[in-house]
Amino acid sequence: MNFDINLNINISNFIDTSTLLYIALFSPIVGSLIAGIYGASPKRIGIGIIVSSLIFLSFLASAGLFLHLYFGGSIVNVRMMDWISAGDLSVPFGFVADQVSVTMMLVVTLVSTIVHIYSIGYMEKDKGFNRFFSYLSAFVFSMMFLVMSDNFLGLFIGWEGVGLCSWLLIGFWYERESATWAANEAFIMNRIADLGMLIGIFLIYWHFGTLQYDEVFAKVNSIPVDIISMIAIFLFIGAMGKSAQFPLHTWLADAMEGPTPVSALIHAATMVTAGVYLVIRANEIFALVPEVGYFIASLGAFVALFAATMALVNRDIKRVIAYSTLSQLGYMFVAGGLGAYWIALFHLVTHAFFKALLFLGAGNVMHAMEDELNIMKMGGLRKVMLGTALLMLIASVALSGIYPFAGFFSKDKILEVAFDTHNYILWGTLWLTAGLTAFYSFRIVMLVFFGSARYKDFGIHPHEAHGFMLWAMTPLAVLAIVAGLFEHQFIDFVTKILPVYNFSEGIHEIIGQLVMVTTAIAVTGITIAVLSNMFKEGLFTNTFKSNFIYKLLDNQYYIPKIYDEVFSKPYRELSELFWKSVDLKIVDATVDGIANCILSTGENTRGMQSGNLSIMLRLMVIGITVLLISAILYSYADSILTLLQGVLN
Amino acid sequence: MNLSISLEHYLLLSSILFFIGLYGVIVRKNLLMLFFATEIMLNAVNIGLVAISNYYGDLTGQMFAFFIIAIAASEVAIGLGLLVIWFKRHNTVDLDSLQSMKG
Amino acid sequence: MNHILTILIFFPALAGLMGFLVDKKSIKPYVVSITLIELFISLYLWYGFNSAEIGMQFVEQANLIEAFGVQYLIGIDGISLFLVILSTFMTLIGVVSISDDTEDLRELLLTILFLEMTMVGVFVVLDAILFYLFWELSLVPMLYIIGAWGGNKRVYASIKFFLYTFTGSIIMLVGMLYMAYLYYQASGTWSFSLLEWYRLQLPLDYQIWLFVAFFLGLAIKVPMFPFHTWLPYAHGQAPTVGSVILAAVLLKMGTYGFIRLSLPLYPDATVYFLTPIAILSLIMIIYTAMVAYAQKDLKQLVAYSSISHMGVIILGIFALNPEGITGSIFLMISHGIVSGALFLLVGVIYDRRHTKMIDEFGGLASVMPRYALIFGIMAMASVGLPLTIGFVGEFLSLVGFYKYSHIMGIIATGTVVVGAIYMLSAYKRTFFGKVVNSENSKLSDLNLREYLTLIPLTILVIVLGIYPKPILKPVDESVKAIISLMHQKAVTEEAKKIIPNIKIGEEARK
Amino acid sequence: MFEMIAFYTFAFLIIASFIVVVTSNNALYSMSALASGMILISGLFFLLNADFLGVVQLIVYTGAVIALYAFAMIFFDTTKNLIEVNSKKIIFLLISFSTILLVFIMTAPIKSEAVTALHPIHQGVGNTQDIGIVLFTKYLVPFELAAVMLLVAMIGGILMAGKKMDMLVANEEIQEATK
C-alpha cells in the first residue's frame, strides 16, 4: 500500500512558519486563561466550545508545520526571549519544530482536540466544568512546551508543567479524599524522578557548558563516557517518573481517580509518554552508552510483563487500562533502550490513538453505569451501547496487535528488534506479554459488553453517550485501524533526524515466522478470554481467587503497601520525631537551657542582695579572698606548674 | 642572729593589725564597733605605707598615709553624724537593723 | 539627586516622627502614602542605576568619628539595590495588609516606618559600625511588633528573638572591632569602611577566627541550623505584618551579610569552612522540611519552610560561583515575595477563624476558591515550579552548588522532593476534602484589602518567573565583581582553585 | 638593739589594745583601747623616722577622732553591754585563711630591688621640711582637695548632729505618724 502524495505543498508560502509555531504553542494557554477567568462561575457550554476550537487551531498549526516539514521544509527553530542568564548559564525560551517534535505535536493536539470535544459531553453535569477546561488546556500548553522546547531546561518547564496539571486534574474532584491523595502521590513521586532529571541537567551544564540540544549533541563525543553514562542514567530516572516505570509506577494506577478524559489524554496518550520522548530526544546521549540502553530495555521488558500480570486480575476497568498503558510504555522503552528510536516513537504514536480510544470508551461505560467501575457488575452492555462497544473492540484489537490494526505494526517491530539484537530473554518476555495483553483486553470487552446483564441486579439503567462524543472518538478509531499502514512514510519522515535502525541480514528470512508466532499467541490470548467468558462469568473461580498468586497480583504485588510501610510511614514518624524530640527537646531545649542556666544563677544568688550589711560584708571578704588566691596563683603560676609537673612525673 | 628590724617585721605587724580590724568589721554588729574596726584597718595600712617609705627612702608612702589620715578624719565626722541621726530615729545602732535596702 | 540614598534611609523615620501629629483616622492613608513614596524613590534608584558600571554607586561619604575612622559611607551595587526595593515593597504590602480595626494602629504603623529605616539602612551602608548600628536597631521595632501585637506567648517569643539574635551580633561586633584593629596595624590608620577592608589581605589563621565571629552573628539571623529555633516562635506569635516583614526582609539581612562581609573579607576562611557549612545547610534543608511536614499549625509550617529555603540560599552563596550566588540573591528576593505572601495568606484565614491549626480547616477550596487559587500559586512557587519566581533562584543556586560536590548536590536537590511533600500535604489538608467543620462553611472569600496585597505579589511571582532578566543582569555583574575580588584576595592555593577567576568590566569585554 | 626592743614593745601593745577594741563588750573600753593603740602607732611612726606623720597621728587621731567618738558616745547608751549573737565558724576560718594569704602576699613580692624612689628622702633635711616641700609641690592639688573634703565633712557633721536637723527629723516623724 503506498499513499505517496505528489502534492508538493510549500506551506511557508502561505504563512510564516514561526507564526505557526507560536499559534500551536500558545493557543492552548489562551484557552486555558479564558476558561480560568470563568473558573469559579457556573457552567458555560461556550467555554468548552471556545477552548476546544483553540486546541483545534493548535492542531491545525501543528499540521501546517508537519506539512511544511514533510514536504522538505527546513527545521523551524525560534528563540523567543532570554529566560535565565547568570554567570555562563544562558537559557532562552527557544522552540524547535523538527520531525520528532512535530510528530509529537501532531499526536498531542489531535488527541487533545478529541478529548476536549468529548469532555464537553462527559463533564456536562459537573459544576467544575469551566475549571476543568482551564486545567485541561493548561496541560496541553505544558505538553506542547515540553515537546517543542529546544533546550533541556525548557523541557523541564513543560515536564513540571504537565506534572502540575496532572496534579490539578487527578485531584479535580477535590472533595474526594482518594482523589487528592492520588494527586499528591503522583506529584511527589514525579518530583522524586525530577530530582534525577535536575541532576542530569546540572551534569550537562557543567560538562557541556550549555543546555541547548543542538550544542550539547554536537559536543557529545568529546565528553568522557562515564560522564555521559551518568547523564544518561539521571535523565532516565527523570523519564522513569513521568512514564511510571518500576519502581515509580504506583501513581499511575491511583491517578485513575481523575476524570476519565484526563486519563485518556494525560495518563495514556501524552504525559506518560514524555519519558519515552526524552529518551528519543536525547538519543545521541543514550546511543553512546549501550549498557545504560540495555538496562532501560530490560527494565522496560520487566515492566511490560509486570504490569500485564496485574492487569489480568483487576476488576476496575480504568485500572486495567492503566496497567496496560504501563505495559505498553515498557515496550516503548525496550525499543528506545535497544537503539530503535523511531520504532519507539512509532509505537508511542499508535499507542496514543488506541489507548485514548480505549479510555474514552471506558468513560462512556462509566457514565452509563453511573460511575461504577467494577467490571463484574457490568456485562451485556453491547445491547444498550453498540457504538461504544464497537469502538472499544477496535481499540482492543489494535492493542492486542492483530493485523492490520495499528498496534500490530509497531508492537511487532519491537519484538523483531529484541530478536534481532539477540536479546532472546527480552523477546520471550515481550512475546509472553503480548499474549497476556490480548487476554486482558478481551477479558474487559467480554465482561463489559457480552454475557449476562449483571448490572440489572444493582439497579443501574445504562444509556449510550451523546452522539457527538462517539463521533469525536471516530477519528481515533480510524487511526487505530489505519495508522500502521503509514509505516514507511513515518520511517522516511522521522529518520531524517533519528538514527535509522538497520536490521541484520538474517532476520529478514525468519521475520515471517516471528510474525506468525506473535500473532499466534495474541490470538490464543483472545481465544482464552472469549471462551472462558462465554460459558461462565469470569475465568477466575472462587478457588482460584484464594490462590496465592491471585492475591499477589490483585494486591499489585503488595508494592503500594510496602511503599506505605517503608517510605510513607517512616517519613511521617521521622518528621514527628524530628519535630517533637529533636527540634523541641534537643535544639531548642539547649538554647532555653542556656537561658535558664543564667536565670537560675540569678535566682540562686539574689539571696545575696538581702540588704543586710553584715552579709554583704562577709561576701566582700569572700571576694577579697578569691582575688587574693587568684593573685597568688597568677604570680606563682610558673612555679606551681613546674611543681605540678614534678608531682605528675 | 640578726636582731635588726626589717621591713618584713613592719609588714607583718601591719597585716596582723589589718586582720584584727577585718575581724572586727565582720564579727561585730554594733555600728560604733564597726567604726572602730575601720579605724584599725586604716591605721594598719598606714603602718605599712610608712614602713615602706622608710625602707626605700621614698616620701610617697608618707604622703599616702597623710591623705589616709585626712580621709579617716572626714569619714569619722560624717559617719558619726549619720550614726547619731540613725540612733535618734531607731534607738539602736545594731547593724542588722539596717534593713531598709532589702529588696 | 545626590543624596537619594540618605533620603531613602531617613525619610520613613522622619515621616514616622511626623506621624505622631497625624490624627488617628487618617494615619493609615498617611503611612501607606509614605511607604508608597519610599517605594517610588527606591524604584527611581533602579532607574538611575547603571548596571554596566562596576563598584558602588550613589556613594555618599561623611566623617562621623574621625579618630577611629567611622564614616557615614553609603552606596549600593546590584545586590543591595534589589534588597532595598524588596524592603520598601514588602513594607508597603505589609502596611496595606494591616486592618483598620487593629489596636493601637498608629503605634504599629509608625513602628513599621522605623523598621523600614533600619532595613534600608542595613542594605545600603558600607561602614561596619553603621552596619552594626542599623543591624541592631532593626531588632527594636521587631521586638516591639511581636511583643505588643503578638499572640499568647508573645513575650517569650519576642525576648527569645531579641536575645538570641543580639547574642550573635555582639559576637559579630567583637569581630568587627578586631578587624578594624588588624586594619589599623596593617595600614596605620583606623577605618571601618568595608571598601577599605576589602583591600586587606589576611593570613588564613586570622581569617578563620574572624570568619567564625561573623558567621555566628549572621547564621543566627539567617537562621541556620542549629540556631533556628527562635524563628518558629517569632513567626508563631508575631502578627501577620510582623511575620511578613520578618520573613521577607529581616532574614535576608543574614544572607546579605554573608555576601557583603564574610565572602569578600575572608575568602580563604570561606573555602576552609565550605564543607561544614554545606553540611549544616543540607541538614537545614532536609531536616527543617521534615519538621515542617510534622507541623499542625499552618503558620509554623510556613516558618519552617522558610528555614528550609534559606538553606538553599546559603548553599547558593557558598557555591562561590556566579551562577550560585546570583541564584541565591534571586532566591532571596523570590523567597521574600513568596514567604511574605504565604504569611499574608495564613493571616487571611486567621482573621476569619482565629486559628491557624490545619486540622480545623479542610475543603476551603469550595468555600474560598479565589483564596485557594492564590494560595495554590504561592505554594507552587514555594515548591519551585518552573515559570514561577521560586524556580529561577532555586535552580541557579543548586546548579551552582552542584559544581562543588556531586553527592551533596544530589542531597541538596532533594529540596524539590521534601518541599513538595510538606507543601502539598498542607494544601491538601487545608483546601481539599469536604467541609467538615461547620464554622468553615460560611467563610467569605478575599476582600478588597487582601486583594490589594496579594494580587501584586501574585503578578510578581509569575512575571519574574517568566522574565527574571531585569533582576538577574545587574545582580550578576555585581556578583562577578565580588567573586573576582575574592579570587584576587585569596592567599591559599585551595581557595584560588575553588573560586573561579572571572574577568569583569573592561577585561570581560575584550 | 633599741630599735628592736622598741618595735616589739610597741607591736605587742598595739596588737593587744586592738584585740581589746574588737572583742570588748563595752564600748567605753573599746574606745579607750583604740585611743591607746593610736598613740602607740604614732610611736612606731617616730621609730620609722616619720616625725611629721607621728605628730599628725597624735593630733588627728588621739586629739580629734577619739574626741569625736567620745562626744558621739554621749548620745548612745554606753552603760549597757553590747549583746551580739554571732558564732559562725566560717567567719573565723575565712579570717584566718585570708590573714595567712595576706601575710604571704605582703611579705613576698615587695623584696624587689628594682624600686626607685620617686621622691627620695633627703639626708640632713628634717622630715617635716621634706614633707612640706613634696606636699606643696607635687601633691598640692590633692592637699587642697583634702582640705575641702575636711571642710565639707566638718559642715556635714555639724549639720547632721545639729539641733535643727534633729527638729527636721522629728517633724518628719510626726508627719509620718499623722498620715
Closest C-alpha among C172, C173, C189 to residue C181: C189
What pairs with residue A316 in β-bridges? A374
Mutation target for B interface from D12, D13, D18: give the one with most B CBs within 10 A. D18
Closest C-alpha among A395, A419, A241 to residue A320: A395
pLDDT at A568: 84
Q: Please compute, for residue B75, the number of CA atoms within 13 A of its CA located in the half-sphere on the CB side.
A: 15
Closest C-alpha among A58, A56, A72, A55 to residue A12: A72
D with C: touching (≥3 Cβ pairs within 8 Å): no
**Full domain range(s) for residue B91:** 7-97
**C-alpha cell recorded at residue C277:** 557549612
With H, G, I as helix, E, B as strand and everything else as coil, classify residue A94. strand
pLDDT at A268: 83
Q: Is the pLDDT of residue A541 over 50?
A: yes
With H, G, I as helix, E, B as strand and everything else as coil, classify residue A404. coil
For C72-91, the DSSP string reads EEEEE-HHHHHHHHHHHHHH
Q: What are A197-226's pLDDT values in tens digits?
A: 999 999 999 998 888 988 888 888 888 888
C-alpha–C-alpha distance, residues A487 and A413, integer Å: 10
pLDDT at C68: 85
Pairing mode, strands A89-97 and C70-76: unpaired
User: How many other β-carbons are positioned within 10 Å of the β-carbon of residue C104?
Assistant: 12
Q: Give the helix/strand (H/E) hosting A431.
A: helix A424-449
C-alpha–C-alpha distance, residues C40 and C44, integer Å: 6
Where b means 16+ CB within 10 Å and e means fewer, A572-603 reads eeebeebbeebbeeebbeebeeeeeeeeeeee
Q: Tell me which of D6 and B28 has the higher pLDDT.
A: D6
Task: Give contacts of A635 with chain D, Cβ < 8 Å.
Answer: 109
What pairs with residue C73 in β-bridges? C61
- Residue B28 in domain: yes
C-alpha–C-alpha distance, residues C363 and A175, integer Å: 7
Q: With bands split at pLDDT 50, 70 and 90, how would you rate the model's confidence at C141? A: very high
pLDDT at D170: 56
Closest C-alpha among D7, A636, A234 to residue C406: A234
Q: Tell me which of A503 and C97 has the higher pLDDT.
A: C97
Phi first, then psi: give them for residue A445, nearest 5 degrees.
-55, -45
Task: Give contacts of D105 with chain A, Cβ < 8 Å.
Answer: 628, 631-632
Q: What residues contact residue A67 under an 8 Å CB cut-off, 6+ apart?
A: A9, A11
On whether the D1-80 domain is CATH 1.20.120.1200, my answer is yes
Q: Please compute, for residue D31, the number of CA atoms within 13 A of its CA located in the half-sphere on the CB side.
A: 16
* Cα separations in angstroms, C309 against A348, B72, C81, C142: 39, 69, 22, 22
Residue of B nearest to A606 (CA): B103
Q: What are C338-390's pLDDT values in tens digits?
A: 999 999 999 988 888 888 888 888 888 888 888 999 999 999 999 988 889 98
**What average pLDDT score do residues A594-609 get?**
83
Q: What are A551-591's pLDDT values in tens digits?
A: 777 777 788 888 888 888 888 888 888 888 888 888 888 88
The number of folded domains in chain B is: 1
Least confident of A448-457, C272-281, D38-47, D51-60: A448-457
pTM of the shown model = 0.83
Q: With bands split at pLDDT 50, 70 and 90, how would you rate the model's confidence at A4? A: very low
C-alpha–C-alpha distance, residues C326 and C324, integer Å: 6
pLDDT at A1: 39
C-alpha–C-alpha distance, residues C118 and A286, integer Å: 55
Percent of the residues in chain A that have a pLDDT greater than 90, as a whole number: 11
Q: What are C171-218's pLDDT values in tens digits?
A: 999 999 999 999 998 888 888 998 889 988 888 888 999 999 999 999
**C-alpha cell recorded at residue C156:** 517569650
- Residue B1 in domain: no
Q: Please compute, for residue C346, the number of CA atoms within 13 A of its CA located in the half-sphere on the CB side.
A: 29
Q: Tell me which amino acid residue C100 is.
A: D
Residue of D nearest to B22 (CA): D95
Burial zone of A358 (CB within 10 Å; 0-12 exposed, 13-18 middle, 19+ buried): buried
C-alpha–C-alpha distance, residues B27 and B24, integer Å: 5
Q: With bands split at pLDDT 50, 70 and 90, how would you rate the model's confidence at D92? A: low
Least confident of A534-543, C313-322, D19-28: A534-543
Where b means 16+ CB within 10 Å and e means fewer, A294-332 reads bbbbbbbbbbbbbbbbbbbbbebbbbbbbbbbbbbbbbb
Task: Give contacts of D109 with chain A, Cβ < 8 Å.
Answer: 635
C-alpha–C-alpha distance, residues C219 and C236, integer Å: 20
Closest C-alpha among A402, A648, A371 to residue A524: A402
pLDDT at A2: 43
B37 touches chain D (CB under 8 A): yes
**C-alpha cell recorded at residue A81:** 526571549
Q: Tell me which of C479 and A1 has the higher pLDDT.
A: C479
Query: For chain D, what percentages of helix, strand and coil (3-state, to nearest 5) are there?
Result: 80, 0, 20
**What average pLDDT score do residues C288-298 get?**
90
Task: Please state the length of chain D.
Answer: 179
Do residue D101 and residue A625 have CB atoms under 8 angstroms apart? Answer: yes
C-alpha–C-alpha distance, residues A2 and A615, integer Å: 115
A625 touches chain B (CB under 8 A): no
pLDDT at C226: 85
Q: Is the pLDDT of residue C456 over 70?
A: yes
Domain ranges (residues) in chain C: 276-466
A605 touches chain B (CB under 8 A): no
C-alpha–C-alpha distance, residues C7 and C1, integer Å: 9
The runs of H, that is alpha helices, within A483-506 are: 487-494
Q: What residues contact residue A9 under an 8 Å CB cut-off, 6+ apart?
A: A67, A71
User: How many other β-carbons are positioned within 10 Å of the β-carbon of residue D131?
Assistant: 22
The CATH number of the domain where B93 resides is what? 1.10.287.3510
**What average pLDDT score do residues C70-86 get?**
91
How much is the mean pLDDT over chain A? 84
Least confident of A182-196, A500-514, A632-646, D164-178: D164-178
Q: What are A332-383's pLDDT values in tens digits?
A: 999 888 888 888 898 898 888 888 888 888 888 888 887 777 777 777 778 8
How much is the mean pLDDT over chain D? 77
* Nearest CA-CA distance, residue C164 and chain A, Å: 9
Q: What residues contact residue A102 under an 8 Å CB cut-off, 6+ apart?
A: A62, A65, A66, A69
* Cα separations in angstroms, A41 against A38, A121, A129, A259, C363: 5, 18, 9, 20, 18
Closest C-alpha among A438, A305, A308, A460 to residue A376: A460
Domain ranges (residues) in chain D: 1-80, 139-179
Q: Is the pLDDT of residue A536 over 80?
A: no
**C-alpha cell recorded at residue A449:** 459488553
pLDDT at A546: 65
Q: Mark which residues 66-85 of D lie under 8 Å from B by CB.
A: 68-69, 72-73, 75-76, 82, 84
DSSP assignment letter at C64? E
**C-alpha cell recorded at residue C483:** 567573586
Q: With bands split at pLDDT 50, 70 and 90, how would you rate the model's confidence at A467? A: confident
| CA gyration radius, chain C | 22
C-alpha–C-alpha distance, residues C111 and C123, integer Å: 19
**C-alpha cell recorded at residue C493:** 592555593
Do residue A611 and residue B95 have CB atoms under 8 angstroms apart? Answer: no
Residue of A nearest to C225 (CA): A587
Do residue D98 and residue A632 have CB atoms under 8 angstroms apart? Answer: no
For chain C, the first-to-last Cα distance in angstroms comes to: 33
Do residue D104 and residue A632 have CB atoms under 8 angstroms apart? Answer: yes
Q: What are A225-277's pLDDT values in tens digits?
A: 889 999 999 999 999 888 888 888 888 888 888 888 888 888 888 888 898 99
pLDDT at D116: 62
pLDDT at A3: 45
- Considering only the beta carbons, identify the residue of A40, A164, A578 that sits closest to C370: A40
C-alpha–C-alpha distance, residues A214 and C361, integer Å: 50
- Considering only the beta carbons, identify the residue of D1, D82, D169 that sits closest to B85: D169
Contact C168, C219 (CB under 8 A): yes
Preceding amide of A404 cis, omega within 30: yes
Q: Is the pLDDT of residue A315 over 90?
A: no
Complex ipTM value: 0.75
Residue of A nearest to C434 (CA): A175
